[in-house]
Structure 1
């Protein structure tokens, strides 16, 4: 019988490390009650024996600990400390952007998010719910593939280097989530050109059918994108009658944030 752990190898990767990270990501999705071994195995597609071996190592290193039930696992204090350092690194930008997220949520009726690019993924740094918020499993710390992300388009359209773009589209088999998922780098580059011309990015049902998103970049003094503000929602509300109105709302706020960062020589996202 073929092992359920069997995956295509990627050049330059350590498979056990990737599996361990997938366990940490799975644990972050469970509440304080924790996750059972079977929960983790099901979520990560690892065999229970492999998951158990990796969990034992992470428990010993305090990245994972036992939950209230001895049969469950939760994130340990060391991973919480690591996450706290990331929060500190983005604290200035979150404080600056928060009032604008609140205003966008009120003006648009949708949830507004502060998003950064982290390797091949976009990551939610902060969010404000809107009265018509789409009920999705989106929370601070959630990540999603950059090739499906309006935020990644907004950020990459205003960066001088192609390094991040090469990383996203190299050395892996990108997953097709919908018929509109972009898997070709040239297609993605054309989206970046359109984003630069209009000032905001559009994601049209590229990660989930019926869901679209608009995002605009926050720029530093050099005109390079630090992060983006995004507003996802049902395509019927985001794209109709036209995306220009929502795009203008977001751009008005990202322009103000950029002006503050530029005038104050504020650090934005620490690097």
Structure 2
């Protein structure tokens, strides 16, 4: 790796300060937060303002907010994003950590479609494929995605009169029972599938968000019952949350936590 350029690093440090608080800063704020000389900060702020990376706040002399240029760069980044490719990359990292099968899926009507998958190296593992479609209510990713829908949209997709197919004896087939399960998932921010799509497999899933905060996918970890336990479930839940957060960050989402 080549040498970092101090002036560029300091300019980027200034821009990243705008991610916190109310998104406005003065030169003294920057001096205090970054512990830089006032002359250096003045020169950097002047340069960033001249290039429209920051702009003066109307009616607040000496204060700045982000300008149009960061937005333009972010928009170009968003245009180039490929959810499947980004999902495959993150799924690979998660799978390398836990050595279990990892999926990323999206919701289409009342089904989930797997858009990325990385297999476990174990001889006993879940058999599936990217592109496969399954009933959302039978899977952890699907329940996570259904739980993220606004109530009117959820009702439109799965009305009380809906007939839900069963893939295993553990599948939820009653819309009312499904709504109760989704309410719990919504509260926890995590979904668990207990042998509902495959009698030999359980899964955990966490939501993936885009830059607007919208849930656009879910990431799951699938485990054969011979390796499943409550302790293992808790470990994998944390890993699924971490992986989903990483993928969300790739998509431009910024956690407020």
Choose from 93, 96, 106 the match for 2:86: 96
- Any conservation in 1 of the 2:160–2:175 contact (CA below 8 Å)? no
* CA pair 186-123 structure 1, distance change in 2 beyond 3 A: same
Q: Which of 194, 197, 202 pairs up with 1:207?
A: 197
- Verify: 1:148 aligned to 2:147, yes or no: no
Q: Compute the TM-score of the two structures, normalised by the length of structure 2.
A: 0.60
- For structure 2, the 5+ residue unaligned runs are 1-78
CA distance in 1 between partners of 2:173 and 2:123 (Å):
29
CA–CA distance in structure 2, aligned partners of residues 98 and 142 of structure 1: 15
The alignment partner of 1:249 has SS state of helix
Verify: 1:160 aligned to 2:150, yes or no: yes
**Correspondences of 1:100-249 after superposition (within 5 Å):** 100-132=90-122, 134-168=124-158, 173-249=163-239
User: Given the superposition, is the C-alpha separation of residues 216 and 107 from structure 1 closer, same or farther in structure 2, using an over 3 Å criterion?
Assistant: same
Deviation at 1:263, TM superposition (A): 5.2
What stretches of structure 1 of length at least 5 have no aligned partner? Answer: 1-88, 265-271
Question: Is contact 1:216-1:250 (8 Å) kept?
Answer: yes
Query: 1:3 maps to which residue?
Result: none
Q: Shift of residue 181 of structure 1?
A: 1.0
CA deviation string 1:171-204 (max 9, x = no partner): 6532223332111222212222222333211011
1:133 & 1:227 partners in 2: Cα distance?
28
Tell me by how many angstroms 1:134 deviates: 4.5
The alpha-carbon distance between structure 1 residues 175 and 95, as it changes in their structure 2 partners (threshold 3 A), is closer
Q: Is the 8 A contact 2:126 2:222 kept in 1?
A: no
- Structure 1 residue 208: Cα displacement: 2.4
Change (3 A) 1:125 1:91: farther
Q: Given the superposition, is the C-alpha separation of residues 263 and 189 from structure 1 closer, same or farther in structure 2, using an over 3 Å criterion?
A: closer
Q: CA separation of 1:135/1:163 partners in 2, compared to 1, >3 Å: closer, same or farther?
A: same
Instruction: Measure the CA separation in 2 of the matches of 1:123 and 1:133.
Output: 25
* C-alpha separation in 1, matches of 2:207 and 2:121: 24
**What TM-score, normalized by structure 1, do the two folds share?**
0.58
